[in-house]
Structures are given as structure tokens and as C-alpha cells.
Amino acid sequence: MTYEELVRDHADEMIEKLVTDVISKEAIEIRFEFLDEDQWSVISMHIYEEDKEISLRLHAGNQYELYFGYYDDEDEFFEITRVLNAEEIKTIPRGLQKLMAKVLADEQGMRIPGHLLSR
């Protein structure tokens, strides 16, 4: 299976892996980022030994995007993104959705204890 197929066909599993990783941490960091006119809030997990990153981004209009970044064997960096559908968005814990929306609205990142999202 290619990484493109993974992102396209198994987004719900990737979201579950990301959320499980994030809430198991002592602290969760939800960042605010922007590029030109685009703004988003983001949570990420890094798989350092494999040079991979999985992120969940919330853009304006309640548009969630799954992001997957990786290095190939020649150390070239690739990014794959995919907008999530309504069913996939439902797999994101409601508390995390609210916090990501707050970060986006306030244009300021936040750091909270991980256990708060496991409730």
C-alpha cells in the first residue's frame, strides 16, 4: 500500500492513531499556523524513527484536513493532504474539535493536559 492509498482509504485509522497518541501525552499542544491568507489550528504526532508526521488541521468553515508528511529513501520530503468528510470528522473527539476551533478563532495556540481529552 502506498502512502497516498493510506491517506485516501484509511483516514479514520490514521485519525484514531493520532488522537490516541495525543491524548496519551502529558500535555497536548494545539498550534495556530498560517500561510498567506490561509489559517488553521493543528495537532501533530511525529514518528521520528520513520521520519513521518501525521497532523489534523482545522481550517475556516469547519473544514478538517488530514496531513501526512514523510521523507523517502533519498531524503526528499513529501506531503499528502486530504479534506475529511462528515463521517471521518465524527471520529474526532468533540472536546478536541472545540479546542481546535478555539485556537483557530483566537489565532493563538494552547497547551493543555492530555487527560482532559480522554474524558
* b/e per residue 92-103 (b: at least 16 CB within 10 A): beeebbebbeeb
Q: For 45-72, how does the pLDDT look when each residue is reduced to its tens digit (9 = 90+)?
A: 998 888 899 999 999 999 999 999 999 8
Question: Residue 116 pLDDT more than 80?
Answer: no
112, 43 contact by CB (below 8 A): no
Q: For 73-90, how does the pLDDT look when each residue is reduced to its tens digit (9 = 90+)?
A: 888 999 999 999 999 999
Per-residue cell: 43: 495537532
Q: Would you say residue 117 lies in a domain?
A: no
pLDDT averaged over the chain?
91
Domain span including residue 15: 3-111
Q: Would you say residue 118 lies in a domain?
A: no
Q: Would you say residue 119 lies in a domain?
A: no
